[in-house]
Amino acid sequence: MNVHVPDNARRDLALVGCPDCACRFETPNYRLGMQQRCPECEAAIKPKYVRRAPDAGYSLSYHTFLQLLTVRPYRDEIVPLIAAWFGYRTEYRGRSLIVSNAAGRTVDLEQMHEMIQTSPRWQELLYWKAGKFFR
């Protein structure tokens, strides 16, 4: 799959190519790595290439978000932050991460990531926390 940032990209957008029909469409950088539907053929695709557009602001890709939640020492700082924001509990079963809400229901990680990336305050805080690991 070819994924690149277009020359005339608006802030935080990447151009994604569908591997089934070669349709190209824009998607927010933070959604890279998350399952999406091709607007042309409606195939479920999951871009894995992560590259932010110039002047990307504070967005983090889904792939980076998962790293922050699962890899030590990142998770030791990020998980308490998520718990404070949402009241979620995290549990690791082997290499699997399970996040649950106060009622004990499993939380969809893609939805949680999207909630964070659509909140300027949470997005910026997570970005700065992540930045200290990835510099």
Q: Are 71 and 40 in contact (CB under 8 A)?
A: no
d(CA 134, CA 74) in angstroms, rounded, equals 10
pLDDT digits (tens, 9 = 90+) for 75-113: 888 999 999 999 999 998 887 889 999 889 999 898 899
Q: Are 24 and 18 in contact (CB under 8 A)?
A: yes
Query: What is the pLDDT at residue 135?
Result: 62
pTM over 0.85: no
